[in-house]
């Protein structure tokens, strides 16, 4: 590589790192901390998620009755917006009540209210009412998503930092590439623990950790970019869909009738899904969509995986299934978009991919730290040299 080009790339790499390094470090570390929530939540909050006693009831109470129980602990005007339920008999069901103002600046103003209500689905008893606005992992998640600034202000900052990080990774690759493809140079580029001065070793660590975590960093940035900029997700989904097969994502079923043990449509729809998927990990119901006359229930089939699901759509009377969306039948773009969360959080291939992701995030988080440290050493060295020159 030409020396002038290499110098310009180095200057770009240095200044982008100094400008966005702190934000990149915060994004990495908050993502690392939050990644422990799913595997640890049953141990951290066992009294909320796990029922303390077994029940002889074979079936849970109707969802409408449980929602009435959840509403008793909410203030007037507060509405349940989502229900997360678990077919396993030893698990509580979670009723979310949330209202946000996306135009507000700051974490406290962004949420008007956000409650999670944990219920025993067999008795209707409220186990715990959690103020999710102040729950530790929720704060960490919002720090990761929008730096506690709210979506309107925080997401563009996050998106810009992610874009900067992509440029840093690519420019770092050019700077890492050895000037000469000899054994000694290649070893120095791939192994940081040589017998050299600690400042040189710090430089080697920065280079080596950067190249080892390059691919993971690009994957994390691109999947994170999808969350920061929904328009980007829509664009690449449409492009990939046009290149793949043209099968419809929703499969019409021509009004498949379901049993009617209850009088309320949502109760019947949920009873059908529970009977059809007793081994499912969880089911989610967006109440706002039902209020818009779109009665639907998402069934997540595998533990910890959001990208493997079936989505049932019912008629407004709750008497029949009108269509089913399966993750296995999605078009190419929609399938990749559905797996985006699993890829971003490292659960796509189970525990091994999760462990690799944890190690990779630590490597990525170390890059801004070692980079700034290298700059400080260089700055101090240059300052001392100028001072000596002035004294001569």
Collect all residues with Cβ–Cβ distance below 8 Å to 96 and sequence separation of at least 6. 80, 81, 82, 83, 84, 114, 115, 116, 117, 132
C-alpha distances out from residue 245 to 234, 269, 272, 330, 339, Å: 17, 31, 31, 9, 18
Q: Could you give the number of structural domains in the chain?
A: 2
Task: Please report whether residue 197 resides in a domain.
Answer: no
Concatenating the DSSP letter of every residue in 77-112 gives: T--EEEEEE-SSTTB-EEEEEEEE-TT--SHHHHEE
Establish if 356 belongs to a structural domain: no
Domain boundary among 277, 302, 330: 330
Give 31-60 pLDDT, tens digit per residue.
Answer: 999 988 887 888 899 999 999 877 666 789
For residue 131, tell me if it sits in a domain.
yes
DSSP 8-class letter at 329:
G
The H or E element containing residue 118 is strand 111-119
pTM, full prediction = 0.87
pLDDT tens, 130-180? Answer: 999 999 999 999 999 999 999 889 999 999 999 999 999 999 999 888 776
Query: Which among 315, 330, 345 is the end of a domain?
Result: 330
Task: Note down the domain range covering 60.
Answer: 46-83+93-146
Beta pairing class for 250-257 and 320-326: antiparallel
Q: How far apart are CA 181 and CA 171, in angstroms?
A: 19
Last residue of a domain, one of 330, 347, 376: 330
Check whether 367 has a pLDDT greater than 70.
yes
pLDDT tens-digit series, residues 213-233: 999 999 999 999 888 888 888
Residue 47 near residue 128, CB atoms below 8 Å: yes
Q: CA 19, CA 2: separation in Å to the nearest integer?
A: 26
- Residue 326 in any domain: the answer is yes
267 neighbors 63 (Cβ within 8 angstroms): yes
């Amino acid at each position: 590589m030409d020396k002038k080009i290499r110098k310009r790339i180095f200057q770009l790499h240095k200044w982008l790192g100094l400008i966005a390094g702190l934000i990149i470090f915060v994004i990495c570390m908050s993502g690392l901390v939050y990644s422990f929530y799913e595997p640890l939540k049953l141990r951290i909050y066992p009294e909320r998620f796990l029922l303390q006693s077994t029940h002889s009831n074979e079936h849970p109470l109707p969802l409408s009755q449980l929602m009435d129980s959840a509403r008793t602990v909410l203030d007037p005007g507060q509405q349940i917006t989502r229900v997360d339920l678990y077919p396993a008999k030893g698990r509580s069901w979670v009723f979310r009540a949330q209202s946000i103002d996306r135009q507000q600046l700051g974490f406290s103003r962004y949420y008007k209210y956000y409650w999670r209500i944990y219920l025993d689905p067999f008795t209707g008893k409220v186990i715990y009412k959690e103020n999710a606005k102040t729950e530790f992992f929720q704060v960490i998640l919002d720090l990761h998503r929008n730096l506690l600034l709210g979506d309107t202000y925080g997401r563009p900052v996050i998106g810009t930092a992610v874009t900067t990080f992509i440029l840093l990774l690519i420019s770092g690759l050019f700077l890492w590439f050895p000037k000469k493809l000899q054994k000694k140079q290649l070893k120095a580029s791939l192994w940081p623990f040589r017998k050299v001065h600690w400042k040189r070793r710090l430089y080697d660590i920065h280079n080596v950790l950067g190249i080892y975590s390059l691919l993971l960093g690009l994957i994390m940035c691109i999947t994170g970019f999808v969350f920061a900029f929904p328009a980007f997700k829509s664009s690449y989904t449409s492009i990939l869909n046009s290149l793949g097969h043209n099968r419809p994502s929703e499969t019409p079923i021509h009004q498949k009738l379901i049993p009617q043990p209850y009088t309320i449509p949502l109760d019947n729809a949920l009873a059908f899904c529970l009977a059809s998927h007793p081994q499912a990990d969880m089911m989610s119901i967006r109440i706002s969509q039902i209020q818009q006359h779109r009665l639907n229930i998402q069934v997540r089939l595998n533990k910890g995986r959001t990208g493997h699901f079936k989505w049932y759509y019912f008629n407004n009377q709750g008497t029949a299934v009108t269509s089913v969306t399966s993750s296995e039948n999605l078009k190419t773009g929609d399938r990749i978009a559905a797996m985006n969360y699993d890829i971003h959080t490292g659960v796509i291939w189970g525990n091994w991919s999760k462990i690799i992701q944890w190690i990779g995030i630590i490597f990525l988080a170390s890059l801004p730290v070692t980079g700034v440290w290298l700059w400080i050493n260089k700055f101090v060295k240059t300052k001392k040299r100028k001072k000596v020159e002035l004294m001569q």
